[in-house]
């Protein structure tokens, strides 16, 4: 038994010695350069000039103050709205207009004016809308001192969400929309693999923050999921009796 214990402890000693002698490299110390990437460099985009209302250098200018050549009537033919004094105004009864070009994901800038002599109330007061890919409406409405149903307010995805704020300027003052939109991706069965998402900023105030759109804009009933590709920007001739809304400085950047 004594010999057994001597052999056992000798064996343990050998393993201990080997364990002590076995050494592995220490992890390399982190240096700043290990987490720095130099390529690819972002493309250079020259910002627009606020004083001259110019667009960024890579933007598609949809209205330059002179004509509606980038637009057409949804009914067919030329856009029938009125161009004057560097802006264009809804011509009641002519119908919606849409861009001739189609877009996927984008950043859209558009400025709009509710006239000082606006009349009516709720949805019948300065009503229009901007449709993303011709499918999803961001509401345009005079909500300055004018209440309406909450999910039909200015800046809502119409009838789908209540905006985070009411940032309207008074009639006669220009409002600014900056809209960041991510287009949907569809499964083979026609459902959303990736749903459309939108952020809406009005006059520097966030109204929608990365909101997931549930489907098409429907006046009656629930949103529907319809398979589509790139689509136009559509501006609405709502047809309400109030004086017409005007637009200016419209540009879009593909993303």
Higher-confidence residue: 155 or 243?
155
pLDDT at 251 over 90: yes
* DSSP state string for 156-173: SBTTT---S---PPPTTS
Q: What is the pLDDT of residue 50?
A: 77
Span 64-113, pLDDT tens digits: 999 999 999 999 999 989 999 999 999 988 999 999 999 999 999 999 99
Q: Report cis status (omega within 30 of 0) of the bond before 40.
A: yes
Q: Say if CB 250 and CB 62 are below 8 A apart.
A: yes
Tell how strand 82-84 and strand 71-73 pair up. unpaired
Return the minimum-mean-pLDDT range out of 13-27, 141-155, 185-199, 216-230: 13-27
| Distance, CA of 160 to CA of 179 (rounded, Å) | 17
Q: What band does 51 get if pLDDT is binned at 50, 70 and 90?
A: confident
pLDDT at 7 over 70: no
Over residues 21-39, the mean pLDDT reads 89
pLDDT at 127 over 90: no
Q: Which fold has domain 60-254?
A: Jelly Rolls (2.60.120)
pLDDT at 8 over 60: no
Return the minimum-mean-pLDDT range out of 9-13, 20-24, 214-218: 9-13
Q: Where exactly are the structural domains of the chain?
A: 2-35, 60-254
Q: What is the pLDDT of residue 20?
A: 66
Mean pLDDT for the chain? 90
pLDDT at 11 over 80: no
| Distance, CA of 163 to CA of 31 (rounded, Å) | 46
pLDDT at 2 over 80: no
3-class secondary-structure state, position 5: helix
Q: Give the predicted TM-score (pTM) of the model.
A: 0.86
Burial of 176 (0-12, 13-18, 19+ CB in 10 A): middle
């Amino acid at each position: 038994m004594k010999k057994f214990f001597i052999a056992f402890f000798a064996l343990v000693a050998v393993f201990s010695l080997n364990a002590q002698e076995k050494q592995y490299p220490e992890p390399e110390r982190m240096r700043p350069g290990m987490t720095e990437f130099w390529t690819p460099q972002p493309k250079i985009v020259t910002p627009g000039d606020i004083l001259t209302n110019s667009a960024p250098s890579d933007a598609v200018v949809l209205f330059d103050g002179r004509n509606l050549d980038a637009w057409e009537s949804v009914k067919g033919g030329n856009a029938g709205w009125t161009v004057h004094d560097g802006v264009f105004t809804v011509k009641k009864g002519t119908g919606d207009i849409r861009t001739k070009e189609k877009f996927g994901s984008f950043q859209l800038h558009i400025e709009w004016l509710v006239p000082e002599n606006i009349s009516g109330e709720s949805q019948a007061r300065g009503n229009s809308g901007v449709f993303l890919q011709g499918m999803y409406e961001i509401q345009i409405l005079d909500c300055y001192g004018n209440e309406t149903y909450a999910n039909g307010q200015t800046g809502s995805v119409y009838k789908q969400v209540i905006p985070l704020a009411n940032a309207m300027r008074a009639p006669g003052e220009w409002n600014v929309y900056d809209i960041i939109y991510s287009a949907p991706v569809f499964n083979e069965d026609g459902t959303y693999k990736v749903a459309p998402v939108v952020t809406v900023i009005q006059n520097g105030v966030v109204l929608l923050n990365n909101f997931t759109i549930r489907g098409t804009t429907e006046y009656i009933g629930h949103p529907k999921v319809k398979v589509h590709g790139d689509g136009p920007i559509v501006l609405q001739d709502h047809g309400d009796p109030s004086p017409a809304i005007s637009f200016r400085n419209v540009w879009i950047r593909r993303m």
